[in-house]
Amino acid sequence: MAIIKIENLSKIYSSQIEEVQALKNINLTINKGDFIVVNGPSGSGKSTLLNLLAGIDEASSGEIEINKTSLNSLSDRERTELRRDKIGLVFQYFELVPVLTVWENVEYPLLLQKVSKSERKKRVDKILKELALDKMNNRLPGQLSGGQKQRVAIARALVTEPEVVLADEPTGNLDSETGKTIIELMLNLNNEYDVAFVIVTHDLFINRYAQKLIEIKDGTLSVKEVS
Ligand SMILES: Nc1ncnc2c1ncn2[C@@H]1O[C@H](COP(=O)(O)OP(=O)(O)OP(=O)(O)O)[C@@H](O)[C@H]1O
């Protein structure tokens, strides 16, 4: 079942000096439970693609459908809510809120969704236990290792029960052993919850975990192999 459908998506960055076509007519379907790895050289358009999916930036032309709803057909507010409900985000530099505890960081997206207090407690406790972080509930992000921070970020991305998690260089700031643990954790969560993962990375070791391996080059996308 398709969760996200990208059709003829293009992005042009224009300034007074030049125009850069960062994405050229991209087509891609992300299905329920997919584990997709995206490679590509620096400047090829990987972050642009994630930013368009995450709503951090807007496409120049083309369509993104989430659960059969075209983002172009929605108001700004509806678009934000749809993304907030269906997409979880994980970043290279973790992006945790430094003054909130581990527990509060994971609770935060549920506050935005206006989930009740009792339901918040249930869901945050469950995901922190699942990710073996329940002994660290009251720590601040500054008191965690890189791998622990990334586990908190993954818990925060999953607590809203999204259909897809987009991860931008999730191992980029971790040593190789911790990076491997994080990817294997994502794979387990993918199997357990059937949530799709799209991992944009330079770390070639991640490719062996891919169900679908995608390469972006000069703004065009190709599927390298499907297992
Ligand atoms: N805000 C912007 N204004 C102008 N050009 C931009 C902007 N953001 C990105 N670009 C250009 O768009 C192209 C794609 O950039 P993008 O950041 O998507 O690449 P990337 O594959 O994520 O690279 P990296 O692996 O280095 O992060 C590049 O040529 C880049 O210089």
pLDDT in tens, 139-182: 999 999 999 999 999 999 999 999 999 999 989 888 888 889 88
d(CA 187, CA 196): 10
Q: Single out the residue of 159, 165, 155 nearest to residue 196, CA to CA.
A: 165
Q: Single out the residue of 96, 93, 123, 95 nearest to residue 107, CA to CA.
A: 123
Q: Single out the residue of 32, 33, 35, 109 nearest to residue 67, CA to CA.
A: 32
Q: What are phi and psi of 160, to 5 degrees?
A: -85, 0
Cβ 93 under 6 angstroms from ligand 1: no
Strands 87-90, 2-14: pairing kind: unpaired
Report the pLDDT value the prediction gives residue 34, as an integer from 0 to 100.
94
Report the pLDDT value the prediction gives residue 76, as an integer from 0 to 100.
87
pLDDT bracket for residue 135 (50, 70, 90)? very high
Pick the CATH number of 2-226 from 3.40.50.9100, 1.10.3720.10, 3.50.50.60, 3.40.50.300: 3.40.50.300
Beta strands across the sheet bearing 2-14: 19-31, 2-14, 61-66, 69-70
Nearest CA to ligand 1 atom 18: 45
Which two structure tokens, joined as six digits, stand for 190? 């993918």
d(CA 94, CA 81): 22
DSSP 102: H
Nearest CA to ligand 1 atom 29: 43
Which amino acid is it at 130? Answer: E
Cβ 13 under 6 angstroms from ligand 1: yes
pLDDT tens digits along 172-222: 888 888 889 889 989 998 999 999 999 999 888 999 999 999 999 999 999
Cβ 20 under 6 angstroms from ligand 1: yes
How far does the centroid of ligand 1 lie from the alpha carbon of residue 48, in Å? 6
How far does the centroid of ligand 1 lie from the alpha carbon of residue 56, in Å? 14
Which amino acid is it at 142? Answer: G
Q: What are phi and psi of 177, to 5 degrees?
A: -65, -45
- Is residue 157 classed as helix, strand or coil in its secondary structure? helix
Angle between helices 176-193 and 146-158 (to 10 degrees): 20
